[in-house]
Structure 1
C-alpha cells in the first residue's frame, strides 16, 4: 500500500488548547505523524512517498473562497493587531446576534469562521493544512491511476472543517476535497465513511444536499460528545441528497461488537448506492486508551475493521483523522491497513 506523508504537515505546532476549562498543550500535535510513520516502517506496509503540490483549486471546489483567504492571512493579521498569544476565538455570531456580516477586526473574523474555541491558529497552520490536502490528493491520484489502496497520513485532520468554518483541529476537509476531485475526474458516486470517534460534521455539511457523495459516520452520540450540534440519526440529507447522509451515533463505552454492527449497516448502504470509490476518514480515537474519546475498541479490533472494509472490493483511499498522541496510534492505524490488505490481497 502506498503511503503519502510530508514533513510540512508538522509545521503547525500549537501551544494552546482550551480543554475542560484549562489552557493546555493540544492533543493534536506533530508527534502523531512520527508515531504513525514509525509503525509504517516497522511493518513495511508500503513505500512512503512525498506528495505533489495540487494548488488551491481542489480546496476551492468545496470551501468558500473568503474562508480560504482568511486562513491564509489570519496569523499575520492577528500579529498585526498586537496580539502576543495564539489566535483563539472568543466571540461568535450566536443565536441572538447577526450572522450575516463578517467584522473587519481579526477577533471578529476568528469567531465568524470558527466552530468553537478549541482550536487555535499559530505559525505554520496554513502551510500544514496545505500539505495535508496535498497528501490526501496524492493518495487519491495513486488509487485512481492504479486501482490500488493508498493511505494519506494527513495532519491536520479534516473532517470537522465545514465549507467556511474550522474547528476540531481541522482547517481543510481532506476527505471532501478528495471526494469532489474524484467526481471531477468522472466518477458517478463516491462514498465517505467516517470511523472517527467524533462525528464528521464538516463532511456532512458540505455534501448534505447532494446525491453524488454518500456520507456516513459512526461516532459518539452528539448528545454527549463533540461536536454536539450535528451527527444525530435523523439527519438524512436534504433535497437531492435525501438518503445520502447516514449517522450512527453510539453511547460512550461502546465496544467493538456493537460498533461493528453499525459498520455492517454502513457497508450495506455503500453496496446499495453502488459507490465507485471508498474514502475512509480513518480516525483511530475509538481506541480504549485515547485521551479524549470514550469508545472501547482494542488494537486487534482495528485489523478486523480493515478486513470488513476490504469486503466491499472498492478502490479505497484511507485518510488519517483523529487518534491522539498515545503510542498505539501507529499500531491501530496500521492494523486497519494490514487487515485491509490481508483480506483484499492488495
Structure 2
C-alpha cells in the first residue's frame, strides 16, 4: 500500500485545549505521528514524501481570506501586548453575516470555531503539508492506485471553508475529494471518525458533485453538537447528497457495521468512482473521548467492508488519540482493507 507523510507535519505542537471550562493538555499531540506511522508500516504501508502541489488545490476548497489569516495570524498575535504563545479566540460573531474586523483578536474569533484549534508558530507549515499529504494520496488514486493512506496530521474534517475548529485547519479529505473531482472522477467522502465531519459537510452541503457521508456519535450531547443530525440532507443542488448516521454513545461493532452497510449502499448509489475515507480511529472502545465502542476486530471488518466495494480508496487520517490500542486499531483497518 502506498503511504504519504511529510516531516514538516511534526511542527504543529499545540499546548492547550479547553473543555468544560478547564484548560488541559491538547490531545492532538505530535506523538500521534510516531504511533500511527509505525502501525501503518507494520501493515505493509511504504511511505513517500508528497510533492508540493502548491496552494491552488487548497484554495479550491478554502477561501483566500482564510488562507491569508492562517498564514499570518501567529505573527500578528505576537505583536499584542501580553498575548499568549498560541492564538486562541475569546469572542465570536453571532453569525457569518456580521462585520469582518481588522483586529487580530476579532479575526481569530471569526476564523476559529472553538478553543480546540490553537495556532502556534509551526501550525501553518504543518497544516500545509498535511494537506499536501492528502493531495499526494488523491493523485496516487488518479494514477491508478487502488489503495493509499495519507498520514495527514493535523487532521482536517472539522475545518470549514473559512473556519478552523476541533484540532483542524485545512479540510484534508475535502481537498483530496476536490482534487479527484477535478481529475474527472466522481468522489464520495465517508467519515468514520467518532465526531461528525461538520466542516466537510459544510463545504459540500449545496453541491451535488461530491457525496458526503458521516457515521458518528450522536451530536445531541457530543461534539460538534450543532451539526451531524440525521435530518441534515444537503440543500439546493446538494439536497440528498449528504447522509448522517448518528449512533448512540457506546455503540459497538455490530451496530456500527450495520450503519456502515447503509453508508456504503449510499456510496454505491451515488455512482462513486473514488472513495475518500476520513479515517478517525477515535470510535475505539479505548479512545479517551469514549464516544463509541468499536473493537480491534471491528476496525478490521470496517477496513474489509470499505475495500469490498471494489472502489479505489484513499484513507486520510483524522482523529484517534493516544491509547494502548491506537497503533493496533490503525493496523487492523489497513490489514482488513488489504484482505489480511
What TM-score results when the alignment is normalised by the length of structure 2?
0.97
Counterpart in the other structure of 2:66: 67
Does residue 13 (structure 1) correspond to residue 10 (structure 2)? The answer is no
Counterpart in the other structure of 1:177: 175
Shift of residue 16, structure 1, vs aligned partner: 0.9
Equivalent pair of 1:36/1:331 in contact (CA under 8 Å): no
Residues in 2 aligned to 1:268 and 1:86: alpha-carbon distance in whole angstroms? 43
Residues in 1 aligned to 2:137 and 2:325: alpha-carbon distance in whole angstroms? 23
Q: After alignment, is 197-206 or 116-125 more displaced?
A: 116-125
1:195-250 Cα deviation digits (max 9, x unpaired): 00000001101111111111000001110111100110000011111111000011
Residues in 2 aligned to 1:334 and 1:144: alpha-carbon distance in whole angstroms? 25
Shift of residue 159, structure 1, vs aligned partner: 0.4
Residues in 2 aligned to 1:115 and 1:291: alpha-carbon distance in whole angstroms? 22
Counterpart in the other structure of 1:125: 123
Shift of residue 327, structure 1, vs aligned partner: 3.5
Q: CA RMSD in A?
A: 1.2
Counterpart in the other structure of 1:54: 53
Counterpart in the other structure of 2:39: 39
Shift of residue 39, structure 1, vs aligned partner: 1.6
Q: 1:42 to 1:186 in 2, by over 3 A?
A: closer
Counterpart in the other structure of 2:263: 266
1:150-196 Cα deviation digits (max 9, x unpaired): 00000000000001100000000001101111111112x21000000
Q: Counterpart of 1:307 in 2: which secondary structure?
A: helix
Does residue 330 (structure 1) correspond to residue 330 (structure 2)? The answer is no
Shift of residue 56, structure 1, vs aligned partner: 0.7
Q: How does 1:197-208 map to 2 (within 5 A)?
A: 197-208=194-205
Shift of residue 271, structure 1, vs aligned partner: 1.1
Q: Counterpart of 1:248 in 2: which secondary structure?
A: strand
Q: How does 1:130-209 map to 2 (within 5 A)?
A: 130-187=128-185, 189-209=186-206
Shift of residue 293, structure 1, vs aligned partner: 3.3
Residues in 2 aligned to 1:319 and 1:89: alpha-carbon distance in whole angstroms? 28
The gaps in structure 1 that reach 5 residues or longer are none
What TM-score results when the alignment is normalised by the length of structure 1?
0.95
Does residue 251 (structure 1) correspond to residue 248 (structure 2)? The answer is yes
Q: Tell me which of 287, 292, 295 is aligned to 1:295.
A: 292
Q: Counterpart of 1:223 in 2: which secondary structure?
A: helix
Counterpart in the other structure of 1:284: 281
Segments ≥4 residues shifted beyond 2 Å: 40-43
Equivalent pair of 1:198/1:227 in contact (CA under 8 Å): yes
Shift of residue 22, structure 1, vs aligned partner: 1.5
Counterpart in the other structure of 1:100: 98
Shift of residue 108, structure 1, vs aligned partner: 0.6
Q: Counterpart of 1:151 in 2: which secondary structure?
A: strand
Q: Counterpart of 2:302 in 1: which secondary structure?
A: helix
The aligned length equals: 339
Equivalent pair of 2:40/2:334 in contact (CA under 8 Å): no
Residues in 1 aligned to 2:11 and 2:276: alpha-carbon distance in whole angstroms? 25
Counterpart in the other structure of 1:112: 110
